[in-house]
Amino acid sequence: MSNAPHHGLITPHGGGALQARYNSDKARELTKEAASLPRINLTNKQSCDLELIANGGYSPLTGFMGMDDFKSVCKNMTLADGTVWSIPILLSVSKEQIPSIGSRVALYAPGGVLQGVMTVKEEFIHDKKMEIPAVFRTEDEAHPGVAQVAKEGDYCIAGPVEAVTLCVDPQGPEAFLSQRLTPAQTREEFAKRGWKTIVAFQTRNPIHRAHEYVCKCAQEICDGLLIHPLVGETKKGDIAADIRMQAIDALVKKYFNPATTMVTVLPAAMRYAGPREAIHHAIMRRNYGCSHFIVGRDHAGVGNYYGTYDAQKIFDEIDQKNLGIVPLKFEHTGYSKSYGGMVSSKTYPKIEGDIVNLSGTAVRELLFKGERPPAEFSRPEVADVLIAAAKAGTLFVP
């Protein structure tokens, strides 16, 4: 279940081949077997994790983590074998759902679609008191990632998985099938384009002018840019994935060079784990074939739980050679009225009140009134998409 040659691109994480766990030739056989197996109903997060195990995005993982990997990730930010890894990938269940070791279980997505079959190799207590402070740097249940883990099952089962399908709802409004490329497919496309160095940009928001500036700075030093928005589970109040994609597509169509830009989606769930999630996002992009990764000033943050540049500093705490992908650390950027263009604190002196900077609340108020944010903050094509969604009541995740 590994992939084709890498065509001179960066090797997958861990240095081996992509560990894709989906084989269409086995899907019918697995479906038949699953009918007689114990059923595990996955959460949205677990379903997203299973897709990334299945498509190779979580290489070198071949299934949900066992206890040794779980403990090592929490304590050391590595798998048990020393490979850099920052976020536990667990299949937590209730005590009543624990199957016997050596048995096989059928894994169903939240919508009821059979997603895969797992061979149970291990079961262990879900040590949330270890996981939560290690991963999120807080135990405050107002933090969405903490609250999510707190609600999960108190036991975990582990073992290799075999996927029956990659996209569990291909007819859904957020399937993005034409842009839902696997790591093997993005690598194939990079090779076809002759790209050797590729920079990835992670986002769970529409791209505003500061993001655009950062992307274009990175493009100057790499062969290609992969705009790779996350479209898995996000929290209530985030901008809906289909609206984000409409805004991104409108922006890229007019303001980016198609010869050096690709847009595909990442079917991952947000953890809102700030620094640790920045590393997690970088690892996945290495598997997708990217050599460089843009890290913003508050990457994967939420509220005020993380320091302004903590998500950048954490890359200095890990084995960079083991991580493999190069982090590109950008300062806070914005449009300077006195300079007349996009700047950062590295490129232009900081002047009080000079940067066009809007709060999320201010942007929302403008959108709901049908007014565009200033052109220095957001491209009009992006604002038009967001205004239309605000008026239709579809802008945010319910």
- How many CA within 13 A on the CB side of residue 37? 24
pLDDT for the residue 21: 97
For Cα atoms 287, 291, 297, give the angle at the middle one, nearest 5 degrees: 100
Which residues carry out catalysis? 204-205
Evaluate whether 197 touches 142 at the Cβ level (below 8 Å). no
DSSP string, 248-269: HHHHHHHHS-TTSEEE--B-PP
Q: Please tell me the predicted confidence (pLDDT) of residue 308.
A: 87
| pLDDT value at residue 294 | 98
Report mean pLDDT in 10-residue bins for the chain, 398 residues.
65 96 96 98 97 98 98 98 98 96 98 97 98 98 97 98 96 90 98 98 94 97 98 93 96 98 98 98 98 93 93 96 97 94 94 88 88 94 96 94
Question: At 221, is the secondary structure helix, strand, or coil?
Answer: coil
Ramachandran sector of residue 112 (left: φ over 0; alpha: ψ -120 to 50; beta: rest): left
Q: How many residues does the chain have?
A: 398
- State how far the alpha carbon of 16 is from the alpha carbons of 6, 10, 12, in Å: 10, 11, 6
For position 33, what pLDDT does the model report?
A: 98
Measuring CA to CA, how many Å separate 353 from each of 206, 350, 382?
24, 9, 25
Per-residue confidence (pLDDT) for residue 6, from 0 to 100: 62
Phi and psi, residue 307, nearest 5° = -65, 160
- Output the pLDDT for position 172: 85
Phi and psi torsions of 105, nearest 5°: -130, 150
pTM: 0.96
Give residue 174's pLDDT: 84
Q: What is the pLDDT of residue 314?
A: 97
Those residues whose C-beta lies under 8 Å from the C-beta of residue 25, and which sit 6 or more positions away, are none
Contact call for residues 381 and 250 (beta carbons, < 8 A): yes
